[in-house]
Structure 1
Amino acid sequence: MKRVFAGAVMAMGLLLAGPASWAAGGVEQLRQFVKATRSAEGEFEQTVLAKSGRKPQQAAGSFAFSRPGKFRWEYQTPYQQLLVGDGERLWIWDRDLNQVTVKRIGDALGATPAAILFGSGDLEQNFELAEGGDSEGLAWVEARPKQEGSGFEAMRIGLAGGQVKRMEMRDNFGQTTTVLFPRFVLNPPVDAGRFRFMPPTGADVIGDDTTKGGR
């Protein structure tokens, strides 16, 4: 399914990571990144490769978030789709179809790839972390969810200079999603209105608790 929200990952600015962290292993860099990051905005590039190896699906767009649990993830090419998490619900708007799907978030972010970006920061409560070695100029962290139902089997996070540069996720169907961040701004002031959503007039709304929102 090409329009599936994949968790994504963000970079930590050099000003937020001291020289000691630059030389640290991937796990320590990731811990410091999660600890120091409260909000962010930027752009992403995503590639999804099916287990069958058929032609990869590519997409790109912009994002913003404010921890914990509030985010805006907007696909701009090759299709337009908006995902907004308001801390309680996840709203997914397919612009082409003018269709909105809404789901309760609850504790669902805890052990998913999205928790690296938008979660509460309880990394080792939800993931088993291990050093993944160095390659492609990055220090890699291997992460596996401690609980079932997270939707993915394993995740690799590549860091350099205290920044998260790349995330690779393999889901339970053998599909691999890679997310890169060509632009990432750490801890900017973010308008809270970006994390509210109201279904557009005439939209077909599917899911739970559709009476609240605010876009």
Structure 2
Amino acid sequence: MALAIAFVSAAAASGIDQLRAFVDGARTGKATFRQVVAAKSGRVPQASSGTFAFARPGKFRWSYDKPYAQLLVGDGEKLWIYDRDLNQVIIKKLDRALGATPASLLAGSNVFEINFVLIDGGNADGIEFVEAQPKSPDTGFDHIRIGFKENLPRTMELHDNFGQLTQLTFDTF
């Protein structure tokens, strides 16, 4: 999938502006990612990696390759979750499963402000951040923080309701 983005003046754009430019301009895209999950308890962080691809609205493929294979596929109507180790598939309605989730910010349509309150997150090391707080209390997480550079997501942090932090770094997009 080719990634085509209508670039706005990214050098001066806030994280919110870059999120909007990404969602409005990127109809399709793919990325590789690294993920680290750190528990509040101080347990050893869990690391994983994989690939992510999307076609708006609502179609995506999120594949964890290491250390455990898992595949999440959204076909626009349903979310398919395949766990290779358990040899199990779970199927959910996509609108209920995607709603106010991190995937909806990356692969959803430009109506993300229906589900999130967006707050400018400032700048660090040339990356502009936006914080997205879910409007619904039953999402399972407190907030998401996404870092953009040149209108492309570079990093995402998911802060859940149990104090766990999931950090995603997009190596290529």
Structure 1 length as normaliser, TM-score?
Answer: 0.74
Q: Name the structure 1 match of 2:140.
A: 151
Q: Name the structure 2 match of 1:73.
A: 62
8 Å Cα contact 1:68-1:119 kept in structure 2: yes
Please tell me whether residue 43 in structure 1 is matched to residue 32 in structure 2: yes
Please tell me whether residue 102 in structure 1 is matched to residue 61 in structure 2: no
Please tell me whether residue 16 in structure 1 is matched to residue 2 in structure 2: no
Q: Name the structure 2 match of 1:193.
A: none
Match of 1:180 among 166, 169, 173: 169
| Alignment RMSD (CA, Å) | 1.7
User: In structure 2, do the counterparts of structure 1 residues 81 and 154 end up closer, same or farther at CA, with 3 Å as the change threshold?
Assistant: same
Give percent identity, aligned residues only: 52
Deviation at 1:52, TM superposition (A): 0.7
Deviation at 1:78, TM superposition (A): 0.7
Please tell me whether residue 117 in structure 1 is matched to residue 106 in structure 2: yes
Q: Radius of gyration: which is bigger?
A: 1
Deviation at 1:148, TM superposition (A): 2.2
- SS of the residue corresponding to residue 24 of structure 2 reads helix
Count of aligned residue pairs for this structure pair: 171
Distance 2:137 2:12 in 1: 34
- Residues 168-212 of structure 1 deviation map (CA, whole Å, 9 limit, x = unaligned): 01111211111111111xxxxxxxxxxxxxxxxxxxxxxxxxxxx
Amino acid at match of 2:41: S
Amino acid at match of 1:100: V
Deviation at 1:122, TM superposition (A): 0.8
**Which structure carries more relative contact order (alpha carbon 8 Å, separation 6+)?**
1
Amino acid at match of 2:23: V
Amino acid at match of 2:120: E
* Residues 197-208 of structure 1: pairs in structure 2 closer than 5 A: none
Unmatched tracts of structure 2, length 5 or more: none
8 Å Cα contact 1:88-1:105 kept in structure 2: yes
Amino acid at match of 1:17: F
- SS of the residue corresponding to residue 79 of structure 1 reads coil
- SS of the residue corresponding to residue 117 of structure 1 reads helix
Q: Name the structure 1 match of 2:80.
A: 91
- SS of the residue corresponding to residue 10 of structure 2 reads helix
Distance 2:50 2:77 in 1: 23
- Residues 13-35 of structure 1 deviation map (CA, whole Å, 9 limit, x = unaligned): 7x6313x2321111111111111
* Residues 127-146 of structure 1: pairs in structure 2 closer than 5 A: 127-146=116-135
Q: Larger % of strand: which?
A: 2
Please tell me whether residue 162 in structure 1 is matched to residue 141 in structure 2: no
8 Å Cα contact 1:67-1:118 kept in structure 2: yes
8 Å Cα contact 2:23-2:109 kept in structure 1: no
Deviation at 1:108, TM superposition (A): 3.6
Structure 2 length as normaliser, TM-score?
Answer: 0.90
